[in-house]
Amino acid sequence: MSGGFGFTLRARDGAARRGRMVTAHGSVETPAFMPVGTAATVKAMRPEDVAATGAEIVLANTYHLMLRPGAERIAALGGLHRFMNWNRPILTDSGGFQVMSLAKLRQIDETGVTFRSHLDGALYRLTPERSIEIQRLLGSDIAMAFDECTPFPATLDEARTSMALSMRWAARSKEAFVPRAGHALFGIVQGGVHGALRGQSASALIEIGFDGYAVGGLAVGEGQATMFAVLDEAVPALPETSPRYLMGVGKPEDIVGAVARGIDLFDCVLPTRSGRTAQAFTRRGQVNLRNARHLDDPRPLDEACACSACRAYSRAYLHHLVRSGEILASMLLTEHNLRYYQDVMADMRAAIAAGRFADFTAAFAAARAAGDIPPR
């Protein structure tokens, strides 16, 4: 294992866990949500404003950064932390999901993937060794093993073949990883929606040995019930003493359900993407600021929120910005959504520490069921 990286469990409440992860660029209180900074930026946000929402770690994208501006260029400029002015922990994904979802004319073989860039059609080759090298050049605190993200739906045989390839790539990723103080490598559990395959994948990764373990290949169309069923199978197979990361999830209710099943880390584009499309998350559910009912509404988005959008602006003003196509709408709604997500994570951490997680989940569900009631 890489020296200097650490994870400590501080409290449990049922399967829910309260922990602290220590990296080269600081600590992260868990359960934690990582805002997505695909191209070395969280869209519509300055780094200091991301930190002000309560975020302690962000995710950056290996695939996108290798295409533009290039990992070697970022390394020459001092690494990703300096490049994007974020001196806190960074996790980089391996590029496997983006190769599946974005790249053109991809061809997979035992050694890696050949594909054409979705930007300009240029030909690239990505292998476990190159993915790990890119993440080392970027200087991320947490690197991810290179894997094939199993598509959904997939037959049992297709999922088995894909999972087995990912496990071979995981071993090569571990071999290529250069241990450095405070830096970690996570393995990724695959296996589609098949519980037995997920168990086999977890066992293979544990035998290889990683600093943390992610569950990948979910939130790809399988639905919440199936996702939770997979987590019920996969999470208990993972080591108690390592952080657990559910990749690409998600909706607030999905995150709460996953924390209840023992997950520690999350990422998703949903809060930032929604902020750019006039959607706001509140304690009473989602709000569409395009709706005409906000035209004369003097209330803040969420009375309990301390973000600048809620402290200083009315729903009527936010509606006006959205309808006018003003950039400030994206900035304010993105800030609000990230603050909401961070507040949910903080509330869950406090509830787990106090042994009141069941009370939190009940109150969370009740508030969302009540809905966002417009003024009379």
Write the pLDDT tens digit of every residue in 36-59.
999 999 999 999 999 999 999 999
Q: Which candidate in 267, 297, 302, 343 is catalytic?
A: 267
Closest CA to 140 of 93, 99, 191: 93
267 is known as an active-site residue: yes
By C-alpha distance, which of 196, 110, 97, 200 is closest to 145? 97
Query: Cα–Cα–Cα angle for 304, 309, 344, nearest 5°?
Result: 45
pLDDT, averaged across the chain: 96
Put simply, whether the predicted model's pTM sits higher than 0.85 gets the answer: yes
Per-residue model confidence as pLDDT tens digits over 15-41: 999 999 999 999 999 999 999 999 999
Domain range annotation of the chain: 6-267, 275-370
**CATH class, range 6-267:** alpha beta
Q: Which of 13, 49, 93, 297 is catalytic?
A: 93
pLDDT of the residue at 374: 80
User: Could you give the count of Cα atoms lying within 13 Å of 198 in the half-sphere of its Cβ?
Assistant: 21
Q: What span, in angstroms and rounded, lies between the C-alpha atoms of 325 and 71?
A: 35
The single residue listed with the structure tokens 């533009």 is: 68
Across the chain, which has 376 residues, the per-10-residue mean pLDDT values are 82 98 98 98 98 98 96 98 98 91 87 93 95 98 95 94 98 98 98 96 98 96 97 97 97 98 98 98 97 97 97 98 98 98 98 98 96 82
Q: Contact at 8 Å (CB) between 47 and 85? A: yes
254 included as an active-site residue: no
Strand arrangement of the beta sheet that strand 244-246 belongs to: 32-34, 265-267, 244-246, 212-215, 184-189, 142-144, 90-93, 58-61, 36-37
Q: What is the pLDDT of residues 336-345, one digit of tens each?
A: 999 999 999 9
Percent of the chain with pLDDT over 90: 94
